Amino acid sequence: MKHSAIWKFWFGAWLLSFAALAQAALSQIHALGGTVAITYPGQAPRAAQKGDRLVNGTFVATGDKSFALLRFADGQIVALKSNSEFRIDQYRHVPKDAGAGLIAFSAGQGGLRAITGLIGKKNPAGFKL
C-alpha cells in the first residue's frame, strides 16, 4: 500500500509537469514557409523553426514570399504574410480565468490575420494590437 501512494504521488507530479510543458508549447510558431527570422529579447536574430517558443518580447519577421503561423496558449492564432514584422509586447494567459489574460502585440509593417482566442473573447479590453 505504501508503494502505491508513492507511485500515485510521482505519477501526479509527472502529469502536472507534463501539463505545464504542454501549455507552454502551445505558444509557438506552428508553421512557417520561406524566410522567417525570430529574435528573443537580448539575443541576435536567427532563422525561425517550427516549434520555436513565443515569449514576451519575441520579434518575428517574414521575408519575401514567406509566412508564419503563430499559435498561442489561449487559442489565439496570428498568420503573418510576406514582409511582415510582429512583436509580442505582452502575453499573459491564465488558464483558469481567461478574463484575467492580457495580449499586447505590435505590427511594424506587412500584413496579418488573427483569430481571437479565449482572452479576446472573455476580455476584449485586454487585447491590443
**81-120 pLDDT per residue, tens:** 999 999 999 999 888 887 788 999 999 899 999 988 888 8
C-alpha cell at 28: 509557438
pLDDT band at 17 (very low <50, low <70, confident <90, very high): very low
Instruction: Name the more confident of 102 and 8.
Output: 102
pLDDT band at 29 (very low <50, low <70, confident <90, very high): very high
Per-residue pLDDT tens digits for 42-70: 999 999 999 999 999 999 999 999 999 99
Q: Which pTM was predicted?
A: 0.78
**Average confidence score pLDDT of the chain:** 84
Residues 6 or more apart in contact with residue 28 via CB below 8 angstroms = 50, 51, 52, 53, 54, 70, 71
Quote the pLDDT of residue 120: 86
Cα–Cα dist 1/101, whole Å: 43
Chain-centre distance of CA 54, in angstroms? 4
Quote the pLDDT of residue 25: 43
CB 24 within 8 A of CB 58: no
Quote the pLDDT of residue 13: 45
Residue located via cell numbers 509580442: 88
Q: What 3-state class would DSSP assign to 56?
A: coil
CB 127 within 8 A of CB 120: yes
The amino acid occupying position 22 is A
